[in-house]
Amino acid sequence: MDNPRQHTRYGLTAEYRNADIHLNSRVLCETPLSLAVEKSAQLCALLFLARDNAESGVFGDLNPEIQCRVLTLAAGLAHETLVLSELAARCEAGDINEARTPTA
């Protein structure tokens, strides 16, 4: 039977458990380093747009709530990039035998 407190679509699973929401994504055929590179490129693109809009004064004209959400998105991508980079370094150092070892 389906769990009404869990929903999966587009490789993302959202689950409402106790007072927490867990959001997990599954990326097939990737290594931690290649996914970190992709997240880094996304962050770079977002910051490039924000910088260009800031230089032209457009970013400052945005509602402060929207500004905050853009910066929160950038921080989230930065955190994901950091965690994936750290995992890639641990895998390379031999701390983890296999990057794609399934967890039980």
- List, for residues 41-62, the tens digit of each pLDDT value: 999 999 999 999 888 999 889 8
pLDDT band per the 50, 70, 90 thresholds, residue 97? low
The answer to whether residue 65 sits within a structural domain is yes
> Residues in the chain, how many?
104
Q: Tell me if 70 is assigned to some domain.
A: yes
pLDDT in tens, 17-46: 999 999 999 888 789 999 999 999 999 999
User: How many separate domains does the chain show?
Assistant: 1
- What is the distance between the alpha carbons of residues 46 and 76, in angstroms, rounded to a whole number? 12
Whether residue 77 has pLDDT greater than 60? yes
Q: In angstroms, how far apart are the furthest CA atoms of the chain?
A: 54
Q: Domain for residue 21, yes or no? A: no
25 in a structural domain: no
Parent domain of 46: 30-99
Q: Considering Cα of 2, then 5, then 9, then 13, what sign does the dihedral take?
A: negative
pLDDT at 104 > cutoff 50: no
